[in-house]
Chains A and B, each alone.
Chain A
């Protein structure tokens, strides 16, 4: 699964590459407009993570270029420019998703996973993790064939966890994933605790092993290997 990461900030790029590589993605990087332009026209990528403010040009122009050359890559815009019209223009120009900076790495990973799923598996899309199987388009989950009754939030939480298996997802990342970036954040994480607790209970009641573990109060990790 090959990704192109377009980002001019080296420190940020390093974290993103490092996180996504551990998720078994093949990451190529571009730090300038020209580099990005060259790479995305020469190669085919599963997904392009695109920063809008680049040395040498505007990321939105890269989108136009992609459209012109009918490149079939999925695009996630990551931008510090949170202006509403940027978001709209970006999506109009064929971007699939818009993730404002600063973002959480597990969130980016989940968005990439969702994008890849949408592009590859129309209709049938079964995620398998240990005894857990999740039908994403139908929004159904089951443990060893036994269906789970999950709320919308719990299902979203499960998707985030599955997209970041074996990684620690901080409470803040979960909170933002569940409430969206628009909602005012509480400094407490009561919502996160409650939803994780409910999900864990439902999983164990359905007979699944304890997949979700808390990591020192920082966050949670989903791991089928315990």
Chain B
């Protein structure tokens, strides 16, 4: 539909398969109808001329006979012509050319207009003198003949067209039904849907094969996807115990009596790295759980209160970047969501707005009953919206220490909670994350 709108000049590009077949059929039918009408017309014409010419030839034989038996003077010839305009004798000085048929236009008194005549001009000899005998017969108007034949062709063509359209409709309904069912199932298909795809059974071998091939492909994809998801979860999970050992050993190490400043300077980066690894593995685990659509119990949470609490906790971070905080929040907004997930979502969005801000910039948080907007000042150009929510997003925008999963998690939480997260850019340099409830 959209493609059709995008390319109005080339509508056939997005034409349905059946419509395309019909168009080809129609073109073929019109060519056959045109050529058929032409051939048909000429064929009929030929038969008609043959018939007329044969009649004229027979009449000539009769005239020859009459000339010999009943006519006596040239006056008789003129008299005959007066009785029958279609018989005329033209006296010649020398013997005329051999007999020939032709078409000539002549005035017809009966219909009061000029009409075509078929004429046989033949040399005859009467009383020793050469004459040209002209025998004529009126012809049907050839234009009218053409029109009649054209009408018949058009009728035929029309019948063909109506038949084709009806057939196409029936085909679409009946023959192609399994195809459209499969197409619908594929359009609704999501890789992370828990239930397998059900393709409607069909008796048509091609569609049967198509469905079988699709089923194989989809099952394989789903298996790979599930395995990868499990892998992520297991990997993150298996990290927890080593990290726990690392953390607790470091906790013990810092208790050591007589710890020197130099030793402490070696321990500090270890603490930071352990912290980062822990955060990373927890984020991966959370994403794996969100991907698996594990059950997250929902309760009624006041979103406005969550935002206020978190903004309070981020006061130091805001001050650290000399950031101004501007808020426009409704007093309270109860939403049905999982509290932990909502906490993470808000925390990620707010941290994101602080991290990617510029010194002296602004963090603006707006909450209406339908929409949450978290806005930060930043570079005066829009960010690539499709890349923002990618996991482990690389790029210069990523500050050191961030694992690049915050927005990916935020989007996944929104998906799980039935919210819609999107990025918007407003001039000048205002980057907005919008959550539509």
A residues within 8 Å of B by Cβ?
9, 11-12, 15-16, 18-19, 22, 78, 80-85, 88, 100-106, 153, 167-168, 170-173, 178-188, 190-191, 193-194, 215-219
Contact = CB atoms under 8 A, between A and B. Distances in A.
Given A11-B245, A82-B240, A216-B265, A182 B294 contact: no
B47 to A, nearest CB: 91
Contact of A173 (B240, B251, B340, B400): B251
A105 B264 contact: no
Which of A12, A100, A170 neighbours the largest number of chain B CB atoms within 10 Å of its CB?
Answer: A170
Q: Categorize the interface residue count of chain B.
A: 35 or more
A99 B279 CA distance: 15
A184 B401 CA distance: 12
A125 B295 CA distance: 38
A150 B254 CA distance: 28
Contacts of B282: 82, 100, 181
B254 A80 contact: no
B241 A183 contact: no
Interface of B: 237-238, 240-241, 243-252, 254-255, 259, 261, 264-265, 267-268, 271-272, 274-276, 278-279, 282, 285-286, 289, 294-297, 310, 313, 315-317, 319-320, 338, 340, 343-344, 347-348, 351, 400-402, 406
Given A80-B241, A101-B243, A170-B271, A194 B316 contact: yes
B251 A182 contact: no
Contact of A15 (B249, B286, B296, B313): B249
A84 B251 contact: no
A102 B243 contact: yes
A102 B317 contact: no
9 contacts: A15-B248, A19-B248, A100-B240, A102-B240, A105-B247, A170-B271, A180-B343, A188-B401, A218-B267
Contacts of B402: 187
Contact of A218 (B237, B264, B313, B315): B264
Contact of B272 (A102, A104, A179, A187): A187
A11 to B, nearest CB: 5
Contacts of A182: 340, 343-344, 347
Given A15-B251, A102-B247, 8 more contacts: A84-B295, A102-B244, A102-B274, A182-B340, A183-B310, A187-B276, A194-B315, A218-B268
Contacts of B264: 215-218
Contacts of B259: 215-216
Given A170-B271, A215-B264, A184 B243 contact: no
Contacts of A173: 251
B245 A83 contact: no
A170 B250 contact: yes
Contact of A172 (B241, B275, B401): B275
B316 A191 contact: yes
B240 A80 contact: yes
9 tightest A-B CB contacts, nearest first: A187-B401, A216-B264, A80-B240, A15-B248, A102-B244, A102-B243, A105-B251, A190-B316, A101-B244
Contacts of B320: 188, 190
B251 A170 contact: yes
Contacts of B275: 172, 185, 187
Nearest to B256: A168
Given A82-B282, A170-B254, A188-B320, A217 B243 contact: no
Contacts of A193: 316
Nearest to A81: B237
B316 A171 contact: no
Contact of B297 (A11, A88, A171, A186): A88
A88 to B, nearest CB: 7
Nearest to B261: A216
A173 B247 CA distance: 10
Given A184-B406, A216-B261, A82 B285 contact: yes
Contact of B351 (A186, A194, A216): A186
B297 A172 contact: no
A84 B240 contact: no
Contact of B254 (A83, A88, A179, A219): A219
B245 A191 contact: no
A157 to B, nearest CB: 13
B108 to A, nearest CB: 103
Nearest to A194: B316
A80 B279 CA distance: 14
A172 B271 contact: yes
Given A102-B244, A172-B275, A183-B347, A215 B296 contact: no
Contacts of A16: 248
B313 A102 contact: no
Contact of A84 (B265, B297, B310): B297
